Amino acid sequence: MALPGARDLVLSSCREPAARLSARNGYRGEVARKSPNRGGAASARTAARPPRPGSADATPVGPAQTGTAQLTAPAAGADAATSKKEGYPGQHLGLPERGPGSVSSMPRRVLALFIDWLLSMVIALWLTHSQFWTIAIFAVEVFVLTALGGSTVGKRLVGIRTVRIGGGPVGFGWALVRTAILLTVVPPLLTDRDLRGLHDRASDTIVVRI
């Protein structure tokens, strides 16, 4: 026959070790519950960290991924296009860039002028035995030969001639205007993009290669 309080005594004695065991293992149970969260946070940090350049997961980053402006080098033909846009002497007048009909360079024109002046000096010395008439002979030569054919002796030797814009001979009227301004020395040096001095612009002429 069992005693009245024996059953309660047995049940209470069984509960006490279980309670002590739960209290003792409470820290481990708490760690076990928190460990998945720590692992999840570590996984999130690992996913957010960019892969190393040498790793297998590294992928090339393009302009669409970075979202930053990309600097591109100018095309190889940019300089050529700019140079072509600027043009060359006589381009807007319909003259070729090189060869016959193109605008004469300044060295050719200076050389022709020097030849004409030297020839005028020789003629002045031969006729008058003085250099005083050199400029007068030079003016007559330039005026007459420019009006008739556009080429003085010096210009003929270096292969250039003076023509009117649009073609045709210079004529005596415009040749007189051009020669008068040429003798002032300074205006012919004030050239434009077509290498035309004030004497050429006043007479609507240009010096081209033959």
Lowest mean pLDDT among 51-60, 93-102, 159-168, 171-180: 51-60
Average pLDDT, the chain: 75
Lowest mean pLDDT among 37-51, 131-145, 155-169, 193-207: 37-51
- 173 confidence band (pLDDT: 50, 70, 90): very high
| Residues across the chain | 210
Mean pLDDT of the 154-160 span = 96
- As a whole number of angstroms, the distance between CA 118 and CA 115 comes to 5
Mean pLDDT of the 141-169 span = 93
- 169 confidence band (pLDDT: 50, 70, 90): confident
- 1 confidence band (pLDDT: 50, 70, 90): very low
- As a whole number of angstroms, the distance between CA 87 and CA 102 comes to 13
Task: Output the pTM of the full model.
Answer: 0.59
What is the structure's pLDDT at 167? 80
Q: Where are the domains of the chain?
A: 9-41, 94-209
What is the structure's pLDDT at 87? 87
Q: pLDDT tens digits, residue range 3-13?
A: 455 455 444 55
Burial of 70 (0-12, 13-18, 19+ CB in 10 A): exposed
- As a whole number of angstroms, the distance between CA 210 and CA 208 comes to 7
Which of 103, 181, 175, 177 minimizes the C-alpha distance to 142? 175
